[in-house]
Amino acid sequence: MDVCNFCLRPADRSNRLVMGPGVAICQECIGSASALVGDMAFDPELRSFSERLGGFTVEELSLSLPDIAKGVETAQERLTEWVAEMRRRDVSWATIAEHLGVTRQSAWERFSGKIKGSPEPDGS
């Protein structure tokens, strides 16, 4: 199912998704992001992600942790689907690895177990 990578809500008639390569964002999050970016332009306090992290309490960090973990999991699933689609189109492990910036062996080790019918890296 396609969900927003930011708030994890599925798409519906009132909240459509904009899809990018391996990611999706919903209308509501686009609105929030747009407002945030607009604010940031005038807010010298908001400099970097790590600086903003430092501004959260431990309780706030803890509350968001499950959503962050789910977001990473969703992104990993999308990446695997992406690689699987490339393999279905007979793109070699060497080419996939090159675009990921890793060795062919490590690309194969990372994805082949999650993709049905993956031949050995020596195969292609």
Q: Establish if 82 lies at the interface with Zn ion (CB under 5 A).
A: no
Shortest spacing between CB 46 and Zn ion, in angstroms: 20
The single-letter code of the amino acid at 52 is R
* 7 binds Zn ion, rule: CB under 5 A: yes
Compare residues 26 and 97 and give the one whose CB is closer to Zn ion.
26
Find the part of the chain contacting Zn ion (CB under 5 A) among 19-27, 34-42, 47-55, 103-111: 19-27
Nearest to 27 by CA among 42, 56, 6: 6
Question: Which residue in 4, 96, 97, 107 binds Zn ion (CB under 5 A)?
Answer: 4
Identify which range of 20-28, 45-53, 70-78, 104-112 contacts Zn ion by CB under 5 A. 20-28
Stretch that binds Zn ion, among 6-14, 42-50, 61-69, 89-97 (CB under 5 A): 6-14
Q: Does 23 bind Zn ion (CB under 5 A)?
A: no
Range 40-65 burial, b when 16+ CB lie within 10 A, else e: eeeeeeeeeeeeeeeeeeeeeeeeee
Give residues in contact with Zn ion (CB under 5 A). 4, 6-7, 26, 29
